[in-house]
């Protein structure tokens, strides 16, 4: 590793300020910088070869150039550059935003990411680094890198002390933010050193063979994290590496030619795979196609032919879905009956865990294990180390036990506090995929693969199942001309904000389509002549019979049913029923 790469790796940084993080609705800190860098990664990836070649020329870590492009222009995306390549009120040019008031522009002609432009920016940075070295020879090389970044933004005179180096730069965080973004990119660019063929102009391997997942289990573990459809070109490095490795396993991609510079080889291979399985949308990967790839990898490893995996368009993913649901899912017998599940646990903590907590390693291990058991598992897998990725699962858990439909919480578990006690409870909420069907109900949201508001709490799942049973026994009684309760949106896979709803962030609110006469569902409003009021009335009665359903939070605008005190009017609830659940008493 080059000395300047080592300096970047060891550089101290506080990350983005609140002002900078606010661009993406994030909180200040290193994680905000990394998240913004990740958002820009698909655009950064387009210019990797240029960044690497030019950085080598000036002995600059290529990740620094990528980070400056990310900070200055979101690598050409935000704010939108003009057709001539300008931003910043017409003063800054290109993805690196070189200021025309201080530098004669290079790379004009409309290409905001030309080699001449990036080269000019790299030379400016390199010259500022030399200025910092000359003025502060006793500083560390890490501080030379950071100081040069500040100077790139605000001029070398801004850099006076290590402690207040960022003061006077844009957002008072420019150097820290650039370093944090560069550290994110460095891990992804370091592997390029041995496989970029700069002089010949041949292919770039974005993943050297030793970085790809080795075992089928590793590949499957990554692929099965995919939930919502995403374009191949927008996937992060971990998912791309798993797709590459998986396509190698099914003989659609050659091991020695992992990925070319613009990803065409991978996209062609993926399109062939989807065609093989009668799948639409060849440029995207979603939950279904990821599971198909896993299925074929498993079949090939046991000697089965890929043709045995499909049967026209009737391919079923049920076995994989059930496997993902697991023993504590809504579809499992244990969850439905409470058998062998309702038991409290021992969770002894010596100190607080989470945001602002003491975060002792052995406490972190226990908390992560318990959250994982309950399904709140989207934190980084490192067992002993605290990082901000643990805060969201904690906040979601806190919001649920507080009965909120909006994500909140302080992200910290205090010893013997409410969150700690609920984590120990026998009836602690689990975060699961909602049941797809049962007696008296069908979950059309699960069937609709274009949407993914499929997740919520075990409390809500049990409420839906019980309401369906009540509705079936008291109204439908197996009559196919009467619609089952048509379940719609709950929450996204990790909860949190959803553009489709106000609320629905914590897995404790659910929408229901309007039942139609003849057994169908979904209508533009309750005044439609196909609306089945008797079925709607029975649905409301079934909900109100459930102990956790909040009677004051059942919204539906049918004036007749409102007069019967079955529901309450609420704006935009003329075409669906909305209900929310509360919080049970903890049991130990």
- The confidence score (pLDDT) of residue 323 equals 30
pLDDT, mean of residues 436-462: 86
- The confidence score (pLDDT) of residue 175 equals 95
pLDDT, mean of residues 205-228: 70
Beta carbons of 273 and 258 less than 8 angstroms apart:
no
Residue 450's pLDDT band (boundaries 50, 70, 90)? low
Please determine, for residue 326, whether its predicted confidence score (pLDDT) is greater than 50. Answer: no
Q: What is the pLDDT of residues 482-538, one digit of tens each?
A: 999 999 999 998 998 887 677 899 999 999 999 999 888 878 889 999 999 999 999
pTM, whole model, 2 decimals? 0.46
Maximum average pLDDT range among 56-60, 190-194, 225-229, 357-361: 357-361
pLDDT, mean of residues 12-29: 90
Cis peptide bond upstream of 79, omega within 30: yes
Chain centroid to Cα 58, Å, comes to 36
Residue 237's pLDDT band (boundaries 50, 70, 90)? confident
| Out of 367-381, 444-458, 545-559, least confident range | 444-458
Beta carbons of 226 and 287 less than 8 angstroms apart:
yes
Catalytic site positions: 72
- The confidence score (pLDDT) of residue 373 equals 92
Integer Cα distance of 154 and 143 in angstroms:
16
Residue 418's pLDDT band (boundaries 50, 70, 90)? very high
For 339, other C-beta atoms within 10 Å of its C-beta total 10
Integer Cα distance of 190 and 305 in angstroms:
38
- The confidence score (pLDDT) of residue 218 equals 83
- The confidence score (pLDDT) of residue 3 equals 82
- The confidence score (pLDDT) of residue 327 equals 30
Residue 189's pLDDT band (boundaries 50, 70, 90)? low
Concatenated DSSP letters of 53-105: HHHHHHT--HHHHHHHHHHHHTTTTTTTPPTTSEEGGGTEETTTTEETTTS--
Q: Pseudo-torsion of CA 481, 485, 489, 490, nearest 10°?
A: -160
Chain centroid to Cα 579, Å, comes to 27
Residue position matching structure tokens 């901000």: 388
* Beta pairing class for 485-487 and 441-443: parallel
Residue 382: exposed, middle, or buried by beta-carbon count in 10 A (0-12, 13-18, 19+)?
Answer: exposed
- The confidence score (pLDDT) of residue 268 equals 82
Enter the DSSP assignment of 73.
H
pLDDT, mean of residues 227-238: 80
Is pLDDT larger for residue 480 or for residue 475?
475
Q: Pick from 95, 99, 27: which is nearest to 391 by CA?
A: 27
Q: What is the pLDDT of residues 71-126, one digit of tens each?
A: 998 888 765 667 666 775 667 888 998 888 888 877 656 678 888 899 999 999 99
Mean pLDDT of the chain: 82
* Helix residue ranges per DSSP H, 425-553: 444-447, 458-471, 533-544
Cβ contacts of 277 within 8 Å, gap of 6 or more: 289, 292, 296, 309, 310, 315
Number of helices followed by number of strands (H, E) in the chain: 21, 14
Cβ contacts of 42 within 8 Å, gap of 6 or more: 233, 234
- Write phi, then psi, for 86 (nearest 5 degrees): -100, 150
Please determine, for residue 362, whether its predicted confidence score (pLDDT) is greater than 50. Answer: yes
Beta carbons of 574 and 526 less than 8 angstroms apart:
yes
- The confidence score (pLDDT) of residue 193 equals 39
pLDDT, mean of residues 395-412: 95
Is pLDDT larger for residue 269 or for residue 86?
269
Maximum average pLDDT range among 228-237, 261-270, 345-354: 345-354
Please determine, for residue 212, whether its predicted confidence score (pLDDT) is greater than 80. Answer: no
pLDDT, mean of residues 212-241: 80
pLDDT, mean of residues 328-355: 58
- The confidence score (pLDDT) of residue 309 equals 33
Beta carbons of 353 and 384 less than 8 angstroms apart:
no
Residue 200's pLDDT band (boundaries 50, 70, 90)? very low
Beta carbons of 577 and 539 less than 8 angstroms apart:
yes
pLDDT, mean of residues 21-42: 88
């Amino acid at each position: 590793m080059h000395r300047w790469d080592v300096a970047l790796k060891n550089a101290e940084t506080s990350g983005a300020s609140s002002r900078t993080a606010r661009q993406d609705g994030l909180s200040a800190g290193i994680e905000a910088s990394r998240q913004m860098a990740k958002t820009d990664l698909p655009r950064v990836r387009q210019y990797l070869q240029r960044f690497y070649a030019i950085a080598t020329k000036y002995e600059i870590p290529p990740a620094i150039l990528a980070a400056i492009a990310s900070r200055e222009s979101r690598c050409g995306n935000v704010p939108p550059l003009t057709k001539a390549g300008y931003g910043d009120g017409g003063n800054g040019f290109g993805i690196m935003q070189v200021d025309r008031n201080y530098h004669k522009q290079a790379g004009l002609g409309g290409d905001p990411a030309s080699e001449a432009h990036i080269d000019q920016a790299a030379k400016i940075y390199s010259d500022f680094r030399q200025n910092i070295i000359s003025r502060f020879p006793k500083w560390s090389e890490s501080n030379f890198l950071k100081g040069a970044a500040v100077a790139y933004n605000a001029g070398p005179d801004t850099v006076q002390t290590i402690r207040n180096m960022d003061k006077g730069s844009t957002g008072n965080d420019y150097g820290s933010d650039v370093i944090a973004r560069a550290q994110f990119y460095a891990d992804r660019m370091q592997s390029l050193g041995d496989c970029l063929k700069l002089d010949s102009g041949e292919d770039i391997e974005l993943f050297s063979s030793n970085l790809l997942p080795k075992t089928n289990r590793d590949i499957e573990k990554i692929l099965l994290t995919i939930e919502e459809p995403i374009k191949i070109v927008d996937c992060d490095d971990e998912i791309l590496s798993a797709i590459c490795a998986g396509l190698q396993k099914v003989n659609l991609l050659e091991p020695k030619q992992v990925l070319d510079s613009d990803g065409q080889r991978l996209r062609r291979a993926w399109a062939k795979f989807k065609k093989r399985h009668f799948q639409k949308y060849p440029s995207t990967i979603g939950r279904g196609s990821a599971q198909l790839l896993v299925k074929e990898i498993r079949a090939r490893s046991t000697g089965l032919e890929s043709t045995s995996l499909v049967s026209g368009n009737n391919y079923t993913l049920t076995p994989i879905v059930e496997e993902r649901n697991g023993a504590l899912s809504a579809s499992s017998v244990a969850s439905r009956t409470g058998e062998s599940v309702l038991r409290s646990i021992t969770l002894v903590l010596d100190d607080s865990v989470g945001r602002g907590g003491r975060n002792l390693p052995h406490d972190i291990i226990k908390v992560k294990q318990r959250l994982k058991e309950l399904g709140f598992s989207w934190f980084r897998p490192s067992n002993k180390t605290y990082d901000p990725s643990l805060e969201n699962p904690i906040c979601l858990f806190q919001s649920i036990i507080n009965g909120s439909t909006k994500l909140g919480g302080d992200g910290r578990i205090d010893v013997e506090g409410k969150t700690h006690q609920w984590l120990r409870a026998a009836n602690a909420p689990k975060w699961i995929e909602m049941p797809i069907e049962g007696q008296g109900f069908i979950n059309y949201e699960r069937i609709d693969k274009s949407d993914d508001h499929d997740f919520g709490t075990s409390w809500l799942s049990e409420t839906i199942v019980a309401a369906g049973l009540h509705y079936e026994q008291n109204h439908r009684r197996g009559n196919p001309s009467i619609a089952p309760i048509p379940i719609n949106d709950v929450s996204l896979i990790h909860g949190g904000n959803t553009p489709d709803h106000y609320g629905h962030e914590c897995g404790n609110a659910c929408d229901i389509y309007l039942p139609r006469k003849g057994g169908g569902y979904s209508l533009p409003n309750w005044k439609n002549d196909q609306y089945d009021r008797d079925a709607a009335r029975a649905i409301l009665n079934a909900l109100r019979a459930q102990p956790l359903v909040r009677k004051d939070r059942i919204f539906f605008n049918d004036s007749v049913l409102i007069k019967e005190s079955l529901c309450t009017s609420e704006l935009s609830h003329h075409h669906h029923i909305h209900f929310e659940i509360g919080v049970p008493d903890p049991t130990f």
